[in-house]
Amino acid sequence: MKSELSSPWFHDENAAFAYVESKLWPTGPVCPHCGVIGKASRRGGKSSRPGLWKCYACRKEFTVRIGSIFESSHVPMHVWLQITYVMCSSKKGFPTRQIQRTLNCSMKTAWFLGHRVRECMKEARDLFTPQIGGAGKTLEADDTFIGGSGENRAFGPIPPKQTVMALVQRGGAVRSFHVPNVTATTLAPILGYHAHKDSRFNSDEAAVYRHLGWNFRGGHGAVNHSAKEYVRGDDYTNTVEGYFSILKRGIYGVYFHVSEAHLHRYLSEFDFRYSHRIRLGVDDMQRTDLAIKGAKGKRLTYRTTTGCWAVQVEPPHLGA
């Protein structure tokens, strides 16, 4: 038996750097100072640190950490790989306390690590992001509330409920959104960007989805939940409800409480694992590789004015 965790990159710092480099630099080392690709040599010897390269073109030194989520982190690269692996392979999430115990680090370090891995899992959502669905495919949409329970709360105000809308391609990916409300004004641009118009659209009978459903060339199938109707022919919303149940078991059972400001990162985490799940042929190590690739071009910086972490996404380097 060969355990996944016995791979050298989970234990040896040089092997860990080589592994991350193979994912982020598939065509050779990319100098972050001048952009030249494949014209650098690895620094050897006892005096240099693991993962250090020197560019022939500009004579400067660099590592694969620069310009990625791993930049300015003192956490060794093999520990990054360990934590990325456990977060990618734990279906319901991996809480900060457990990161702290597993890595034997401070709560603060554990919290930062968890959120940085969540940033790696976040997919780009811009004009270049391909839509989900398409001709012959079915998209299910639904919304739910997260949090806001006053049960077991000894003091302090009850946190407000947060609304999450999710769009799932049956047998495919999910995209969920923390939304201020469920109105056509809020949902129309989300569906416009993310849902392929040739799909068939399934939802419950809520008026907001009826107003949006006619846009789909595959038609709109609505099941009437208030009349206890859950399936009509091929129309149902069981897939998106199944996704919400994984999300809620994670948020209530593993994370307990998720603040409004960070909810979007937890949604990225659950979306990422669901969209790259075993049933779609993605195993735990392949999912970890995808998260490592997602570290590229993102830097987490602390925004003192708002007191929260923000991500600086850099445009991809030419040729990189």
Q: Which residues form the interface with Zn ion (CB under 5 A)?
A: 31, 33-34, 55, 57-58
Element (H, E) at 84: helix 77-89
When the beta carbons of 57 and 135 are compared against Zn ion, the nearer one is 57
When the beta carbons of 36 and 103 are compared against Zn ion, the nearer one is 36
Q: Which residues of 272-285 are buried (b: 16+ CB within 10 A; e: fewer)?
A: bbbbbbeeeebebe
Instruction: Give the C-alpha separation, 277 to 287, whole Å.
Output: 8
Mapping DSSP to helix (H, G, I), strand (E, B) and coil, where does residue 139 land? Answer: strand
When the beta carbons of 53 and 244 are compared against Zn ion, the nearer one is 53
In the complex, least distance from residue 313 CB atom to Zn ion, rounded to whole angstroms:
22
In the complex, least distance from residue 35 CB atom to Zn ion, rounded to whole angstroms:
7
| E strands, 189-234, in order | 200-204, 220-223, 231-232
When the beta carbons of 54 and 262 are compared against Zn ion, the nearer one is 54
Using an 8 Å Cβ cutoff, are 37 and 319 in contact?
A: yes
In the complex, least distance from residue 57 CB atom to Zn ion, rounded to whole angstroms:
4
When the beta carbons of 58 and 103 are compared against Zn ion, the nearer one is 58
Mapping DSSP to helix (H, G, I), strand (E, B) and coil, where does residue 40 land? Answer: strand
In the complex, least distance from residue 52 CB atom to Zn ion, rounded to whole angstroms:
13
Token readout for 186 is: 């809020």
In the complex, least distance from residue 37 CB atom to Zn ion, rounded to whole angstroms:
10
